[in-house]
């Protein structure tokens, strides 16, 4: 069996949606990296009874470790340590050494930040944060709050790892938490959860479903999740090591049925594939973007090391700028209009020639919500990717918001680039 952990995210601000939970997803991914499965993520408000019942549920549903986030601060709504102590059957007691440590931290912070604090309330807040369940391990504070590893009082049941709420503090404390002997013992001796990803471009979900149905009997032990993201069909599979042959059968089935659209069999992202393609060919690239106005150049530049291939880009929003910056002929703009295959091609070639790059990209479209006509509706985008002697063109009509039209155009451009790089 695979080791399994659960998370309780505390905070009324998270429960009510004022703050988007960043700790649950981050912890889920860190656990996956360690090969640990995630059983549940439960969000509770700053209410003692709700936190206690969530902890009782999660410590009794087959989890090897339960992690809490938040509620370690000095204010009255920060009650996690006390509730965890009660659920684990341990008393809270003052840790004088920790109290001193927190005092020093608060003094340093006050000096650095010029806080004027009332000594009595500071001392009370510090004492509250230094209350530790008897027998718990203390993890050194990253901010002011220490973390805790609280074993169950009576033999059975998982330890509870108590982490602070601010994401930077929680993340900063993670390495120390994973180095704690109690946590290592809780997660050791189990199998490691594996996760593999494959991605398709241009296959509808229904066709994938048919393939999965046809091979159902060979795929035992795989937890397959398919999800449509940015127009890509992403297939994420989680499995224990003994189901590796079943995953190999899934890979074979995908390769057999979807060879033309299976652009990533090993989990590589489109960004990684395009970057590797450009680097491998020692090629360079320039963009000319109208409706996306720099989003593609920005996406390419998101990757460290992109200066090896991205020379630059033109934001050619107005017709006049399309003429001036990348040399789109005025007659072309008059006869076929800015949103046309011809102009996309002229933009790609123009960007490439102006900067002397191997590859050029042109994107021109109507992001909306206004500006559509019967032959050129909102969401119509023409794209072109070119190099000397060869160009790939695409016309798409993207439904949805302005933001969606622009975002999808960038992904389509990346896939066109991938195709041209491979040809
Ligand atoms: P503090 O000493 O700051 O009170 P704490 O451990 O008690 O630390 P919380 O009070 O729960 O943590 O949260 C402090 C702040 O950290 C919240 O106001 C919020 O901005 C941020 N935060 C807490 N939990 C989350 C979360 N799950 N996702 C994103 N941000 C969070
Ligand atoms: Mg708080």
332 in helix, strand or coil? helix
Asked if 300 and 361 count as a contact pair (C-beta separation under 8 A), the reply is: no
Quote the CA–CA distance of 241 and 237 in Å, as a whole number: 12
Tell me what the mean pLDDT of segment 204-218 comes to: 96
- pLDDT of 249 strictly over 90: yes
Q: Categorize the per-residue pLDDT at 73 as very low, low, confident or very high, splitting at 50, 70 and 90.
A: confident
Pocket test for ligand 1, best of 10, 11, 24, 67 (most atoms within 8 A of CB): 11
CB of residue 141 inside a 6 A radius of ligand 1? no
Q: How many residues does the chain have?
A: 423
158 in helix, strand or coil? coil
Query: Across all residues in the chain, what is the average pLDDT?
Result: 96
Element (H, E) at 296: helix 295-301
Q: What is the pLDDT of residue 50?
A: 97
Pocket test for ligand 1, best of 84, 166, 171 (most atoms within 8 A of CB): 166
Q: What is the pLDDT of residue 307?
A: 98
More reliable by pLDDT, 118 or 226? 226
pTM score, whole prediction:
0.84
**Tokens, residue 168:** 């930077």
Q: List, as ranges, residues with CB under 5 A of the ion ligand 2.
A: 73, 78
Cα(13) to centroid of ligand 2, in Å?
10
CB of residue 13 inside a 6 A radius of ligand 1? yes
CB of residue 26 inside a 6 A radius of ligand 1? no
Instruction: Kindly give, in sequence order, each residue whose CB lies less than 8 Å from that of residue 32, ignoring residues fewer than 6 positions away.
Output: 38, 193, 195
Tens of pLDDT along 50-62? 999 999 999 999 9
Q: Which ligand is nearest to the CA of 81?
A: 1
Tens of pLDDT along 334-391? 999 999 999 999 999 999 999 999 999 999 999 999 999 999 999 999 999 999 999 9
Quote the CA–CA distance of 285 and 362 in Å, as a whole number: 11
CB of residue 46 inside a 6 A radius of ligand 1? no
CB of residue 349 inside a 6 A radius of ligand 1? no
Quote the CA–CA distance of 126 and 85 in Å, as a whole number: 18
CB of residue 73 inside a 6 A radius of ligand 1? yes
The angle that helices 80-87 and 48-59 make with each other, rounded to 10 degrees, is: 40
Tens of pLDDT along 112-168? 998 888 889 899 999 999 999 999 999 999 988 899 999 998 878 999 999 999 999
Q: Categorize the per-residue pLDDT at 189 as very low, low, confident or very high, splitting at 50, 70 and 90.
A: confident
Tell me what the mean pLDDT of segment 196-206 comes to: 96
Instruction: Look at the alpha carbons of 122, 123, 126, 127 in this order and tell me if their dihedral is positive or negative.
Output: negative
Alpha carbon nearest to ligand 1 atom 15, residue: 166
Q: What is the pLDDT of residue 76?
A: 76
Q: What is the pLDDT of residue 1?
A: 82
Tens of pLDDT along 297-306? 999 999 999 9
Q: What is the pLDDT of residue 75?
A: 82
Q: Which ligand is nearest to the CA of 73?
A: 1
**Tokens, residue 300:** 């390419």
- pLDDT of 77 strictly over 80: no
Tell me what the mean pLDDT of segment 182-186 comes to: 95
DSSP 399: -
Cα(70) to centroid of ligand 2, in Å?
6
Share of the chain above pLDDT 90, in %: 92
Q: What is the pLDDT of residue 153?
A: 86
Quote the CA–CA distance of 206 and 29 in Å, as a whole number: 28
Quote the CA–CA distance of 90 and 159 in Å, as a whole number: 12
- Which runs of E-coded beta strand occur in 116-261? 131-133, 137-139, 147-150, 160-163, 194-201, 223-229, 232-239
**Tokens, residue 382:** 């023409």
Q: What is the pLDDT of residue 156?
A: 83
309 in helix, strand or coil? coil
Q: What is the pLDDT of residue 321?
A: 98
Alpha carbon nearest to ligand 1 atom 24, residue: 165
32 in helix, strand or coil? helix
Q: Which atom of ligand 1 is nearest to the CA of 164?
A: 6
Q: What is the pLDDT of residue 191?
A: 87
Q: Categorize the per-residue pLDDT at 79 as very low, low, confident or very high, splitting at 50, 70 and 90.
A: very high
**Distance spanning both ends of the chain, measured CA to CA:** 45
Cα(151) to centroid of ligand 1, in Å?
24
Cα–Cα distance list, 190 to 3, 47, 114, 163, 174 (Å):
5, 34, 50, 24, 20
């Amino acid at each position: 069996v695979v080791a399994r952990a659960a998370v309780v995210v505390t905070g009324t601000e998270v429960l009510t949606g004022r703050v988007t939970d960043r700790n649950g997803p981050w912890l889920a991914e860190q656990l996956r990296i360690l090969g640990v499965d995630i059983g549940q993520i439960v969000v509770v408000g700053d209410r003692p009874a709700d936190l206690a019942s969530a902890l009782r549920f999660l410590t009794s549903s087959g989890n090897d470790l339960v992690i809490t986030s938040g509620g370690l601060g000095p204010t009255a709504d920060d009650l996690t340590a006390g509730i965890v102590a009660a659920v684990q059957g341990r008393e809270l007691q003052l840790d004088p050494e920790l109290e001193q440590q927190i005092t020093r931290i608060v003094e340093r912070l006050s000096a650095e930040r010029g806080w004027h604090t009332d000594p009595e309330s500071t001392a009370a807040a510090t004492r509250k944060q230094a209350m530790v369940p008897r027998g718990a391990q203390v993890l050194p504070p990253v901010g002011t709050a220490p973390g805790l590893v609280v074993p169950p009082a009576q033999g059975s049941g998982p330890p509870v790892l108590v982490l602070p709420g601010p994401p930077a503090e929680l993340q900063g404390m993670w390495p120390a938490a994973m180095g704690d002997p109690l946590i290592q013992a809780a997660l050791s001796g189990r199998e490691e959860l594996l996760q593999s990803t494959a991605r398709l471009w241009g296959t509808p979900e229904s066709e994938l479903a048919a393939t999965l149905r046809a091979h159902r009997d060979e795929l035992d032990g795989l937890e397959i999740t398919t999800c449509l993201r940015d127009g890509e069909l992403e297939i994420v599979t989680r499995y224990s090591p003994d189901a590796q042959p079943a995953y190999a059968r899934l890979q074979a089935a995908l390769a057999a049925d979807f060879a033309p659209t299976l652009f990533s069999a090993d989990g590589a992202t489109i960004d990684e594939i395009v970057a590797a393609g450009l680097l491998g060919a020692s090629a360079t690239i320039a963009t000319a973007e109208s409706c996306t106005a720099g989003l593609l150049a920005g996406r390419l530049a998101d990757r460290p090391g992109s200066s090896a291939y991205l020379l630059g880009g033109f934001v050619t929003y107005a017709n006049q700028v399309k003429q001036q910056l990348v040399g789109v002929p005025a007659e072309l703009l008059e006869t076929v209009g800015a949103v046309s295959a011809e102009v996309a091609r002229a933009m790609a070639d123009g960007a490439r020639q102006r900067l002397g790059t191997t590859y050029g990209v042109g994107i021109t479209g109507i992001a909306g919500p206004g500006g559509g006509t019967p032959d050129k509706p909102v969401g119509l985008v023409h794209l072109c990717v070119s190099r000397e002697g060869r160009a790939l063109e695409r016309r798409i009509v993207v439904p949805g918001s302005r933001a969606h039209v622009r975002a999808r155009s960038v992904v389509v451009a990346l896939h066109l680039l991938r195709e041209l790089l491979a040809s």
